[in-house]
Amino acid sequence: MATAGINSENLNAWFKENIEGAEPPLEFDLIAGGHSNLTFRVTDRAGNRFVLRRPPTGAVIATAHDMAREHRIISALEQTPVPVPSALGLCEDPIVNDAPFYIMNFIDGYVLADAVKTAEVFPLESRLGLGAEVVGVLAKLHRVDPAAVGLGELGRTEAYLARQLKRWRTQWEKTKTRELETMEEVYQVLASNIPEQVGAAIVHGDYRLGNMLVGSDGGIAAVLDWELCTLGDPLADLGYVINNWGQPGEEVRGGAASFPTTAGGFQTREEFVALYEELTGRNAEKIGYYRAFQYWRMAAIVEGVLSRYLKGVMGAQADTDAFRFQVDGLAESARALVAEL
């Protein structure tokens, strides 16, 4: 049976020619799909496993699904203490598989998408150590000198927040499906209170437990999904991960599934921030601003996904009411935080 996003005949030939050790015929299984890039597990006849990443099959915003850029980032980070898969090959010729793609090595590990999976895999007493690993890897990423690993031209470093605010406000205006006054209100407060950026670093853009492979020992085996990575204010990553660091018993805003950390046993948000400050020497006293910004940014991103579903270009059906509920919840979370600035 044909697999959407996969041209088996062409890929068998390409792997044989370009990926050392690969022994076609190959089997392709979708690991992760939907609104982001598609990720496939590739298994050859000898049982060797690889990972293929390609853009979604629906409408593509080129800058958001740049395979060469993502391949370049993980290739550069392989030489750092940040755990990433090894980049094995890149194909930019759309004739091979209808879109550019790249190949990574396959890494075993758990993806902790929610509290149920976390509780099932890791006993309560081990979760504090896992949380410390999440903080530690983020600190390692933010200590990497972009120029030293060949990523100095990945993006502009200065005025990160101002540029992000402009980008996502434009995105919101282009894709909004209704008027939502909260988004404009929050934008005005954020734009008027931008903290001074102290230095610059590699910013992952989507740093959370759900984008990591966790080993059975509780260590981070690999950080995944680098498509939003750029250079800028590292505290933006901190604000983002803190928003995804739910506390036990806490109401989950915006219609999201439970966060992995609501299983209990992890650091509190305050402890997470304090440990990050200790490891990096950075001052995160204005973390509330970065959290508000990230809630607002995510509202704009999810609204864009909703818009694409309504236009029928995502190649599937979805509960659009759930997306609206999520956007509303994210916008309200942002408003609650900006009220405290």
pLDDT tens digit sequence for 283-339: 999 999 999 999 999 999 999 988 888 877 665 677 888 899 999 999 999 999 999
Q: How many Cα atoms are found within 13 Å in the side-chain-facing hemisphere of 175?
A: 22
Of 105, 127, 158, the residue that ends a domain is 105
* d(C-alpha 71, C-alpha 260), whole Å: 28
Domain range for 13: 8-105
Biggest alpha carbon–alpha carbon distance for the chain: 59
* d(C-alpha 8, C-alpha 152), whole Å: 37
Of 87, 105, 123, the residue that ends a domain is 105
DSSP letter (8 states) at residue 251: P
**Tens of pLDDT along 165-180?**
999 999 999 999 999 9
**125 and 260 together in one domain:** yes
Closest CA to 187 of 207, 206, 167: 167
Tokens of 90: 């890149």
> Which pTM value belongs to this model?
0.93
Asked whether the predicted pLDDT for residue 62 surpasses 50, the reply is no
Residue-level pLDDT at 4: 86
**Position 229 in a domain:** yes
Query: Three-class SS of residue 45?
Result: coil
**195 and 309 together in one domain:** yes
**24 and 79 together in one domain:** yes
Asked whether the predicted pLDDT for residue 79 surpasses 70, the reply is yes
Residue-level pLDDT at 319: 81
Phi, psi of 267 (to 5 degrees): -60, 150
Q: How many Cα atoms are found within 13 Å in the side-chain-facing hemisphere of 217?
A: 4
**189 and 290 together in one domain:** yes
Asked whether the predicted pLDDT for residue 61 surpasses 90, the reply is no
**145 and 85 together in one domain:** no
Residues near 55 by beta carbon (within 8 Å), at least 6 away in sequence: 37, 38, 65, 67, 99, 100
**Position 3 in a domain:** no
Query: Three-class SS of residue 234?
Result: coil
**174 and 65 together in one domain:** no
Q: How many domains does the chain have?
A: 2
